[in-house]
Structure 1
Amino acid sequence: MKPSAKFALFLIAACVVSTGTQAQKIYKCGSSYSQIPCPDGVAVDAQDPRSNTQKTEAKQASKSQAKLADAMEKERLQDETQARAADQALAKAQNKKEPTSGKPAAKKKSKEPEYFTAKPPPPAKN
């Protein structure tokens, strides 16, 4: 390995070690919180009091709730799709029954002659 590569690895390792999470003091100043102490500020303990088992259980519960929420969303989307299709089918059926103007269709009347004309009946078929 080249010396510059070793030096780069050393710097990366030093950065990783130095950026570890450390608890900082938090101060409650009236109704707000700050990292800077204020005159009447009270130091607040911000450590997570849960055990590792409790944290693991909470993560598992969150994952199972997320899966349940996804399943419920898929079911809701399917129900909405089916309802939309049923609404469209109903609308098509109603459009076929009624004309687009909304008025019932008028019967076509044959044009009546202006004057009455008597015609003999058609001959009977034998």
Structure 2
Amino acid sequence: MIGRLALFALAAASAALPAAAQGIYRCGNSYSQQPCPGGNELKAPAGPSAREQARARQEARNEARTADAMERARLKEEAKPVPVYIPPEKHEAASEPGKPGSLKNVKRPPSPYFSAVPPAEPKK
């Protein structure tokens, strides 16, 4: 039991230590961790400063708040009932040709996009 606790404490302490920077070498068109003849050692860029990290955390919190507000607004909008159009019932008189209100009496201009015509009456 004590051995496991000591091992866990050692692992936690080693994880908290900063990692030692390894050298990066450019050897022609490739990169390596080992020096090569004629290779150039490159310096790794420094990580973000504490101020930059704090600013990034604050920006992430602001974006999370905005995302939560947008989700609440979307859910509220989706919860609203959707209006449905129910067409009125058709009357038999309106569908008969020659009667007032019939759609067959309406003259429509020819469409430039559709030019179908009814088939010709067969000759007797």
**TM, length-normalised to structure 2:** 0.49
Relative to total residues, which structure has the larger helix share, 1 or 2? 1
Identify the structure with bigger relative contact order (alpha carbons < 8 Å, sequence gap 6+): 1
**TM, length-normalised to structure 1:** 0.48
